[in-house]
Structure 1
Amino acid sequence: MSDEPANATVAGFDPKPVLTRLPHRPGVYRFLDEAGRILYVGKARDLRKRVQAYFRAGIPGGKTEQLVRKVADIEVTVTGSEGEALILENELIKAHRPRFNVLLRDDKSYPFIHLTSQQAFPRLSFYRGTRKVEGRLFGPYPSAGAVRETLSLLQKLFRIRSCEDSFFSHRSRPCLQYQIQRCSGPCVGLIGSEDYQDELGRAIRFLEGRSDEVVDELVKKMEAASKQLEFEEAARLRDQIGRLRHVQQHFATAHRDRGNLDVIATSEQAGIYCVSVVFIRGGRNLGSRTWIPKAHPATAAEEVVGAFIAQFYNGRPIPHEIVVDRDFDDAVLLASALSERAGRKVSIRHRVRGERARWLEQAAQNARHGLDLHIASKAGMLAQLGSLGDALGLGETPQRIECFDVSHTGGESTVASCVVFGREGAIKADYRRFNITEVQAGDDYGALRQALMRRYTRIKRGEAALPDLLLVDGGKGQLGEAVRVLDELQIEGVHVGAVAKGRSRRPGQEQVFLAGRRRPFILPPDSPALRLIQQIRDEAHRFAIAGHRQRRGKSRRRSVLEDVPGLGPKRRSLLLREFGGLHGVDQASVEDLARVKGISRLLAEKIYDTLHPAD
């Protein structure tokens, strides 16, 4: 192969003078186009040798050839070591997002379970944010849903409180969580500090993957309680052990391997890559997530894996071990850089057996499935959900959205609706309607509150999945009501928004208020996110109106005689025949009514009082 530069660059750019002056030192190089935009960022152990390789005659076609044809300038930065070059390379990729690099869409942060440390009765709660926080963090978890599922499981198994301190300190009687056996009631002294700490310790060991130890301890306590004839306590412990063993069967791998590792696999189709990561913490499979990195169609899979790992752990928690589905260049260098960043040894492995091989196969299946979904719905619902997550700054693509609306006519026959959307679109089997009662006519806030309270109380009991995003039709008032309901029920990790019509109330001018944000989002009329919001809002509106009309029609067809206690269908029919219709019954006296067969004097008085309430 010739050392002479090929003439395949932008007209007027001669790379020779630059190439001859490059040092034989480690560093980072940048290729720029005619407009000065960075096309590609790379690192090298020897800058001159690496950059010269791009411009030699006979370079293979594909991505490299297309890149070189657009190069109009070269910049380099010399570093002290190849490891420093690796770190700088990823910082520059993140900052400039060059066209020919593999780019990972940057999610804001991962959710954790947070254990507070400053109270006599610590709480476990959903947490997303900086890791510099008092207490202890467990995770990261792949999604908010995984955190909520684990917290719900912990509440069922150990009944650890999840409420805010302000709520905890002002209780005079147990709340709903205690009534549905999700909390032990420390706020009102129903459990002592020592017993609570014992349960908390078991919850911590469970999160660490040491559930066998917890079961062994509970078995000993159950046997001791039985010997002391404390049969109620023994029965409670027996039930708790049963629930734990059921969970162990669900997470069958937890007792065999307590490692903390991420398992990464890729799948490619038509130049599109999907990367799947399975998160293993304390030997428990916490779930997985998939990414579609932006990469040139001719990019090799090995390059995608290396670039993904380098960018993925830039600012994220680094596990002790990373298992990948293929070897790639610079794996040793990358492991060294990650070890230095984590302050401990981090290994990258691709040849694994046993449990790790099964996890790797699971990651590969997830990658293939994720890629199939991406291709099938690239312009469909998944793209709209992703656009919505980006437009509202949610930090992740919402997988489940619920929207509420209230419908009535002058306060009559009020009905609230709840519609549900997910990756597959409308999930009509999960739709719900709520006939609103005991709320002042026309009180939309009260009606919305009742519907939300009924819906999310059931969700707390495990009757349905919690959404990632809750929308209500209305403005700041409805938004505040929704936030208050979730706070009262101690539900965390759900984004809450309100969809308000614009000043002219025309489609395309909607304002989206998001809890925790002062100013509303005003999305472009052609935004996929806005179209999805409109679709969900309109569906909630349609479902509420249909329910309201059904209820109103039924009430207007309903006879006032149905309100008389003790007057069944047969005697109602007899009265109507006897007096020639409802008007005749209305004109009858108590004595006239009492003469009808089957109508006693007492019942006749009830009928008369119902028909003449003001008399």
Structure 2
Amino acid sequence: MPAEPRTFSTRLAAVPLKPGVYIHRDSEGKVLYVGKSASLRNRLRSYFGSKNNLDAKTTELVSRIADFEFIVTESEQEALLLENSLIKKHKPRFNVRLKDDKTYPYIKVDLAEEFPRVYVTRRTANDGARYFGPFASAGSVRKTLDLLKRLFPYRSCTKAITGTDDRPCLEFHIKRCVAPCTGYASKLDYSKVIDQVLMFLEGNTKEVVTELETAMLEASNQLEFERAGALRDRLKAIERVYEGQKVVGLGRENLDVIGAAYGGEEAWVEIFFVRQGNLIGRDHFTMSGTRDETGNEILARFIEQFYTSASHVPRRILVPESINRVATINQWLESRRDGPVEITIPQRGPKRRLLKMVSENAEQGLEQLKLKWISDSTRMESAMSELQEQLNLPTLPKRIECYDISHIQGTNTVASMSVFQEGKPLSSDYRRFKIKSHDRNDDFASMKEVLTRRFKRLKNAREGGEENASFAASPDLVLIDGGKGQLSSAVEAMLYLGLQDIQLASIAKREEEIFLPDAAEPVIMPRNSQGLFLLQRARDEAHRFAITFHRNLRGKSSVKSALDNVPGIGPKRRKMLIRTFGSVKGIREASEDQIAASPGMTEKTARQLKEHL
């Protein structure tokens, strides 16, 4: 049970004067705030002493605290890492944090492969691969990949490379791949391409240029004019990319330049990447929970969170103002880089000019963000008001839940729940369901089952049971993807649970008609209606979420069935085979010798597998 605040004084006296992380929770056990300190006792006491020294945000936080806990660490650096991990996990509303910091994309160069691939991933692991990022969006990482593909002819396929294919694919003919699949490029030749990719991503373009110039000269001396011409074209392409990107006065410095603009609930942080004096890229991030926070704290939080997962820490980081906890952060960055790091505020010269440009970009970004907030909030308010009027709802539909069923001829029947909060998707509250009913071809029965399961948990929450926050929230409108039949199933579920206060509607796909439980005729909303558009978005999100889940289950089922009942192939070997060859198709195309040489396989099991497939 949560502790009463009046009992905190006794507990606080027992908190150690050691570094660590503390967690504040509300009366429902939800994490409100995660913090760190060199002295846990002193920091925790500061929350529950005099209220006069607290800002508005901290005062509101303290008013909600029902309990706290703490974790002692060996050092402040260890506390910093643990704090960032817990913030990322719980996303507390009172913390300053990178917005939507769930799975930022990275570029992965998989060096564990014999012929490494270069691709986008949202998961990093200590697997011997090289990771570059994080990038703020999928769009920015795709642009970088497109550039890499134009400059370096590495493979983009997932097939097993044997070197014995009859002919190369189109990528080879347009000079986007050296075709190791046919044996045109040896393992050594291909590894040189990957080395150049790595150097380029690290910003070492001069080394790439030097290596290409040497290779071009060698090819020319050996009268390999076609190869020399291809290398010349790559050199010119790299030079074109870097024309105008030289930052005057920076020599060959490697540094990151960070600018921030803040005001209100969110901040905009702009970061430019300079490698060997070249501006090789830029990105921007939004941070939430910044109300009443200073620039010193916002910058410190960004650096802590960005470089926790960043693939590279540069020698120097430029910032527009001093940051909080600079000594601790500097020491932590140096341990990550395994070398010296300087966090500096340039006062004059080219670095100051560059920082000014980055800061101006941050100001522009925040201004655009504010204009978007105003536009979005006005439009969403209009959409919700329109729905309240058209559907005769007692309150504004601030929380809309939409449900969809997905299956193919009754196989792997699943359902999804999308959630829109004040007109915007709340993806953290999305949920998926596997249908358990015997007759999975019956969409009506499936819908009734899902709604019964979901709203039984809401009923339990109303009666004081501990519940997942997503299921404990009461929707202002439940939208069903379907017609009158599916809506009837929803009505039956609510009657069964005694939850007649839940507002229901369904949306039919063809004519976009809105059906209500007690209405004889459907509601027809104008095609350009913001309210209809909001319902369509909720419906489309639920459909997308259900289809994705169904595909995943179907994919797992097909892999399982194709590799089932093969003597000697259990779950572990099945997993290793898919990891090695990419798919069942890849396994079929591989030779018996290749399968036998893959991890965990023997000649006998390889032969049995080929016979089975």
What letter matches 2:304 in structure 1? A
1:99-110 aligned within 5 A: 99-104=93-98, 105-110=100-105
Q: Is 2:58 the counterpart of 1:50?
A: no
What letter matches 1:252 in structure 2? K
**2:268–2:362 CA contact under 8 A, matched in 1:** yes
Three-state SS of the structure 2 residue aligned to 1:131 is coil
**1:142–1:279 CA contact under 8 A, matched in 2:** no
1:87-106 aligned within 5 A: 87-104=81-98, 105-106=100-101
User: 2:28 & 2:220 partners in 1: Cα distance?
Assistant: 81
CA offset digits 1:111-169 (Å, max 9, x no partner): 214254543x5544444433334554445545444444344334433433322224876
Q: CA deviation at 1:191?
A: 4.7
TM-score (norm 2): 0.53
User: 1:30 & 1:230 partners in 2: Cα distance?
Assistant: 66
The 1:245–1:316 alpha-carbon spacing in structure 2 relative to 1, beyond 3 Å, is closer
Q: CA deviation at 1:354?
A: 5.9
**Which residue of 1 is the match for residue 363 of structure 2?**
368
User: 2:15 & 2:112 partners in 1: Cα distance?
Assistant: 55
Pick one of 366, 373, 383 that aligns with 1:378: 373
**Which residue of 1 is the match for residue 143 of structure 2?**
149
CA offset digits 1:87-110 (Å, max 9, x no partner): 444444444443332233323142
Equivalent residues, number: 404
**1:339–1:345 CA contact under 8 A, matched in 2:** yes
Three-state SS of the structure 2 residue aligned to 1:377 is helix
Q: CA deviation at 1:315?
A: 5.0
Q: CA deviation at 1:302?
A: 1.8
TM-score (norm 1): 0.53
The 1:290–1:191 alpha-carbon spacing in structure 2 relative to 1, beyond 3 Å, is closer
Q: Which has the larger radius of gyration?
A: 1
Give the RMSD, CA atoms, in angstroms.
4.8
**Which residue of 2 is the match for residue 187 of structure 1?**
181
Pick one of 301, 325, 333 that aligns with 2:328: 333
**1:391–1:529 CA contact under 8 A, matched in 2:** no
Three-state SS of the structure 2 residue aligned to 1:367 is helix
The 1:49–1:372 alpha-carbon spacing in structure 2 relative to 1, beyond 3 Å, is same
User: 1:176 & 1:389 partners in 2: Cα distance?
Assistant: 42
Q: Is 2:355 the counterpart of 1:347?
A: no
Q: Which runs of 5+ in 2 are unaligned?
A: 381-419, 431-505, 515-531, 545-613
Q: Which moved more, 1:139-148 or 1:302-311?
A: 139-148
What letter matches 2:325 in structure 1? D
Three-state SS of the structure 2 residue aligned to 1:50 is helix
The 1:41–1:149 alpha-carbon spacing in structure 2 relative to 1, beyond 3 Å, is closer
Pick one of 126, 150, 154 that aligns with 1:160: 154
User: 2:101 & 2:31 partners in 1: Cα distance?
Assistant: 19
Three-state SS of the structure 2 residue aligned to 1:293 is strand
Pick one of 238, 256, 259 that aligns with 1:244: 238
The 1:507–1:380 alpha-carbon spacing in structure 2 relative to 1, beyond 3 Å, is farther
**Which residue of 2 is the match for residue 5 of structure 1?**
none
Q: Which moved more, 1:159-168 or 1:17-26?
A: 17-26
- Sequence identity (%): 33
Q: Is 2:301 the counterpart of 1:293?
A: no
Q: Which runs of 5+ in 1 are unaligned?
A: 1-9, 394-500, 510-523, 537-615
The 1:506–1:315 alpha-carbon spacing in structure 2 relative to 1, beyond 3 Å, is farther
Q: CA deviation at 1:347?
A: 3.0
User: 1:236 & 1:255 partners in 2: Cα distance?
Assistant: 33
The 1:525–1:359 alpha-carbon spacing in structure 2 relative to 1, beyond 3 Å, is same
Q: CA deviation at 1:349?
A: 0.5
CA offset digits 1:64-90 (Å, max 9, x no partner): 344444455555555444444444444
**1:302–1:326 CA contact under 8 A, matched in 2:** yes
**1:302–1:328 CA contact under 8 A, matched in 2:** yes
What letter matches 2:322 in structure 1? D
**Which residue of 1 is the match for residue 390 of structure 2?**
none
Q: Which moved more, 1:39-48 or 1:188-197?
A: 188-197
The 1:347–1:390 alpha-carbon spacing in structure 2 relative to 1, beyond 3 Å, is farther
User: 2:356 & 2:175 partners in 1: Cα distance?
Assistant: 38
Q: CA deviation at 1:376?
A: 1.5
Three-state SS of the structure 1 residue aligned to 2:107 is strand
What letter matches 1:50 in structure 2? R
**Which residue of 2 is the match for residue 274 of structure 1?**
268
What letter matches 1:344 in structure 2? D
1:63-462 aligned within 5 A: 63-71=57-65, 75-104=69-98, 105-116=100-111, 118-119=113-114, 122-133=116-127, 135-166=129-160, 171-191=165-185, 195-220=189-214, 222=216, 235-249=229-243, 251-252=245-246, 262-280=256-274, 285-295=279-289, 297-315=291-309, 317=311, 319-321=313-315, 322-340=317-335, 342=336, 344-345=338-339, 347=341, 349-352=343-346, 356-357=351-352, 359-378=354-373, 390=427
The 1:148–1:282 alpha-carbon spacing in structure 2 relative to 1, beyond 3 Å, is farther
Three-state SS of the structure 1 residue aligned to 2:157 is coil
User: 1:221 & 1:46 partners in 2: Cα distance?
Assistant: 58
Q: Which moved more, 1:525-534 or 1:101-110?
A: 525-534
Three-state SS of the structure 2 residue aligned to 1:108 is coil
The 1:175–1:283 alpha-carbon spacing in structure 2 relative to 1, beyond 3 Å, is farther
**Which residue of 1 is the match for residue 575 of structure 2?**
none
CA offset digits 1:17-55 (Å, max 9, x no partner): 555565544444455555555544433333444344442
User: 1:46 & 1:250 partners in 2: Cα distance?
Assistant: 50
Q: Which moved more, 1:147-156 or 1:173-182?
A: 147-156
User: 2:169 & 2:220 partners in 1: Cα distance?
Assistant: 31
Q: Which moved more, 1:370-379 or 1:160-169?
A: 160-169
What letter matches 1:44 in structure 2? S
Three-state SS of the structure 2 residue aligned to 1:99 is coil
**Which residue of 2 is the match for residue 412 of structure 1?**
none
The 1:359–1:530 alpha-carbon spacing in structure 2 relative to 1, beyond 3 Å, is farther
The 1:20–1:286 alpha-carbon spacing in structure 2 relative to 1, beyond 3 Å, is same
What letter matches 1:215 in structure 2? V
Q: Is 2:525 the counterpart of 1:530?
A: no
User: 1:280 & 1:254 partners in 2: Cα distance?
Assistant: 12
Q: CA deviation at 1:267?
A: 0.5
What letter matches 1:530 in structure 2? A
**1:265–1:277 CA contact under 8 A, matched in 2:** yes
What letter matches 1:43 in structure 2? K
Three-state SS of the structure 1 residue aligned to 2:36 is strand
Three-state SS of the structure 2 residue aligned to 1:132 is coil
User: 1:23 & 1:208 partners in 2: Cα distance?
Assistant: 43
CA offset digits 1:422-459 (Å, max 9, x no partner): xxxxxxxxxxxxxxxxxxxxxxxxxxxxxxxxxxxxxx
**2:5–2:67 CA contact under 8 A, matched in 1:** no
Q: CA deviation at 1:179?
A: 2.8
User: 2:163 & 2:376 partners in 1: Cα distance?
Assistant: 44
**1:305–1:328 CA contact under 8 A, matched in 2:** yes
**1:28–1:44 CA contact under 8 A, matched in 2:** yes
**1:45–1:82 CA contact under 8 A, matched in 2:** yes
**1:27–1:45 CA contact under 8 A, matched in 2:** yes
